[in-house]
Amino acid sequence: MRIGVVQGRVVLGAATPELAGTVLLIVEPVTSENLREGTKKGGGKALVVADQLGANLGQLVAFVEGREAANPYWPQDVPVDAYCSLIVNNVEYHPPQ
């Protein structure tokens, strides 16, 4: 699971029926440097994340990738590579010494 900042939304002209009701977000992963500084900036390479929680622009979210991203859609086989698993309220980061 990684943390990222919602930078935008993807609008589709057509989608597979299994994705009905799913919003696709553009999420920029937060680097460890930005997490340490508490800037709420991303810094990583942006990716598209499926969201059913209602995350908004600028919010911090946690997302999973790979096969785990499709688990919320089980038993359907949905073409999803990343899924927003929670909306982050607060982060306490204590880097290793």
Mean pLDDT, all residues of the chain: 90
Distance in angstroms (rounded) separating the CA atoms of residues 42 and 25:
14
The phi, psi pair for 6, rounded to 5°, reads -75, 120
Claim: this prediction has a pTM higher than 0.75: yes
Where exactly are the structural domains of the chain? 2-57+74-85
pLDDT attached to residue 62: 96
Mind listing the pLDDT tens digit of every residue in the chain (97 residues)? 999 999 999 988 877 888 888 899 999 999 988 888 877 788 889 999 999 999 999 999 999 999 899 998 889 888 899 999 999 998 888 877 7
Find out if CATH 1.10.10.10 is the number for domain 2-57+74-85. no
Q: Coil, strand or helix: which one is 54?
A: coil
24-45 residue pLDDT tens: 999 999 998 888 887 778 888 9
The answer to whether the beta carbons of residues 7 and 46 sit under 8 Å apart is yes
pLDDT attached to residue 39: 77
Percent of the chain with pLDDT over 70: 100
